[in-house]
Copies of this chain bind each other. A is one copy, B any other.
Amino acid sequence: MVLLLRTFVKTPRQAWTMRRFYSSDITASAMVYSEYGQPSQVLKWHSYRLPALTSNTVHVKFLASPINPADVNMIQGAYPIKPTYQKLDAQDDKLLAVGGNEGLAQVIAVGDHVNELKIGDHVVMAKTGYGTWRTHAAGPASDFQLLPSADNVSMIQKATITVNPCTAYRMLKDFVNLKQGDYVIQNGGNSAVGQAVIQIAKAWGLKTINVVRNRPDIDVLRKELLDLGATHIITDEELSSHETRALIKSWVGNEKPLLGLNCVGGKSATEMARYLGENGKFITYGAMSRKPLSLPASLLIFKNMSFHGFWVSKWADIHPQEEKYQMLQDVTDLMSQGKLAEPKWTQVKWDEETMKQSVDQGISGFATGKQVVLF
């Protein structure tokens, strides 16, 4: 078919445009939307024939895709990255966005001119906004990021590698030059990123002070996080007390933490910032309290602290492939060595009604674990 096409197609771009809409034999399904809104109201099940393979494209089948909070925000139109509206099949001209941003897929067919991927490879998405709630996808190899091969790494670990573990990895690596034995302080210690921070920090010889919200079963949580490798746990209510100040001083001595990680915001984040040492860096990657960060000028001026944000999607957009691969290699190595555990998760069934309800539920909690669709 490719040979036939070449007889009347003028440019490579035209060739690509026309070729892709020859259908393959594969029937794909996807959770799609064409307008912003409440997920259960705007998400629709869409079945279509996957475009035929061309010499420059690959076919992948999805294995597992999580439902992340950002996916919900994106469907609501409340996320800075807009979905990619695309024509999914040859029979229908409608532009549709596929939900989901993170997921694991396996290469099932490779065009003649594709050298970067081979059949059987496990891949994640190269960019945020690609759409991972679908059974199959067809596209150039550059849409996908090869995962390093590694033993003893589960499908769930691979399907949830790009957001939470990579956020934790980068925040621990890119802002402060930490050395063995240094302390890091973070809130949201029991969030998915928080748990990855605890484990990666431990693997790298760093110590963590983890702030969590107080709750009736705090001792259960405390034990879980200590088991993961947390050095110390304190509750947000304890943060500003005289006793906690003395306690933290007894832990860190004169070596105050120089890195603070914040996904909460509001008053307790300010309290946490006060524990950082001179020239410390405070990185915000979330705002679970939905309250802004309040900064006394003295922390900025006299302690020379600086306040930064981190967004892994942006990081991935502006850093070269080699750096991304190195990160994925390091993180899968930690998983492979048992130093970064599979997150708690619950399976979401791949059917229209279950998906709608599950996406509405949206933000995955610690108790139930991350919602992951298995295809």
Contact of A307 among B80, B303, B306, B311 (CB under 8 A): B306
A286 CB to nearest chain B CB (Å): 7
A297 at the interface (CB under 8 A from B): yes
Q: Using Cβ atoms and an 8 Å threshold, which residues of chain B touch A298?
A: 80, 287
Contact of A309 among B284, B293, B301 (CB under 8 A): B301
C-alpha gap A105/B310 in the complex (Å): 48
Given contacts A292-B295, A292-B297, A297-B293, contact A314 B309 (CB under 8 A): no
Contact of A304 among B286, B287, B296, B314 (CB under 8 A): B314
Q: So how many copies of this chain end up in the complex?
A: 2
C-alpha gap A109/B97 in the complex (Å): 80
Q: Using Cβ atoms and an 8 Å threshold, which residues of chain B touch A311?
A: 301-302, 304
Residues of A within 8 A of B (CB): 80, 265, 270, 284-287, 292-311, 314
Q: Are B307 and A307 in contact (CB under 8 A)?
A: yes
Contact of A301 among B286, B303, B306 (CB under 8 A): B286
C-alpha gap A101/B221 in the complex (Å): 52
C-alpha gap A329/B301 in the complex (Å): 25
Between A300, A303, A310, A311, the greatest number of chain B beta carbons within 10 A of the residue's beta carbon is seen for A300
Q: Are B301 and A285 in contact (CB under 8 A)?
A: yes
Contact of A293 among B286, B287, B295, B302 (CB under 8 A): B295
Q: What 5 pairs between A and B have smallest CB-CB spacing? A: A300-B309, A287-B297, A307-B307, A301-B309, A284-B300
Q: Are A294 and B294 in contact (CB under 8 A)?
A: yes
